[in-house]
């Protein structure tokens, strides 16, 4: 059996990651940009010391400099990595609201209609 950890093109992640620009995360009252997001977690530009886990994250879509507050989604997660540039968080649960936020965000970034959720 081949060692998949070193196989070319192998990605250990179960979910596709999408560009996170256009989404903001609020952790402990501090807003931070997302670098990328998937159904399983997010990479957040680090502006704070790593919080204790589990951490409550509120995600907001953004249009320009304006947050879309009525489309926010709160989710708990576990910090799985922190360095000088980012926090990596694995979401504890995937809710319909979180899935809808990610699908709509990805659709906006790709320029397509999000027909799977309304």
Identify the CATH number of the domain in which residue 36 sits. Answer: 2.40.10.430
> What's the number of domains the chain is made of?
1
Kindly state whether residue 69 falls inside one of the protein's structural domains.
yes
> Quick check: 37 and 23 in contact, CB under 8 A?
yes
Domain containing 33 equals 20-108
Kindly state whether residue 10 falls inside one of the protein's structural domains.
no
pTM: 0.79
Please give the full DSSP string across 20-79, using - where no structure is assigned: -TTEEEEETTEEEEEEEE-SSEEEEE--SPPPPSSEEEEEEEEETTEE-GGG-EEEEEEE
Mean pLDDT of 53-63: 91
* d(C-alpha 104, C-alpha 70), whole Å: 14
What Å distances lie between residue 33 and 17, 23, 42, 44, 114, CA to CA?
15, 6, 10, 6, 23
Kindly state whether residue 1 falls inside one of the protein's structural domains.
no
Kindly state whether residue 116 falls inside one of the protein's structural domains.
no
Kindly state whether residue 4 falls inside one of the protein's structural domains.
no
Is residue 56's pLDDT more than 80?
A: yes
Residue 4: per-residue pLDDT: 46
Kindly state whether residue 13 falls inside one of the protein's structural domains.
no
pLDDT digits 0-9 by tens, 66-89: 999 999 999 999 999 888 889 999
pLDDT digits 0-9 by tens, 8-43: 554 555 677 888 888 999 998 889 999 999 999 999
* d(C-alpha 36, C-alpha 38), whole Å: 7
Q: How many CB atoms lie within 10 A of CB 77?
A: 24
Q: 50: which residues sit within 8 A by CB, 6+ positions away?
A: 79, 82, 87
């Amino acid at each position: 059996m081949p060692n998949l950890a070193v196989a070319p093109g192998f990605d250990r992640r179960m979910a596709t990651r999408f560009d996170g620009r256009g989404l903001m995360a609020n952790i402990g009252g501090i807003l931070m940009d997302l670098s990328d997001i998937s159904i399983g977690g997010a990479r957040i530009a680090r502006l704070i010391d790593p919080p204790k886990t589990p951490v409550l994250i509120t995600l907001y879509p953004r249009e320009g400099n304006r947050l879309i507050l009525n489309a926010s989604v709160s989710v708990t997660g576990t910090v799985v990595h922190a360095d000088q540039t980012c926090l990596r968080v694995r979401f504890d649960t995937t809710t319909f609201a979180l899935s809808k936020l990610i699908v709509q965000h990805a659709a906006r970034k790709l320029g397509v209609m999000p027909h799977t959720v309304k």
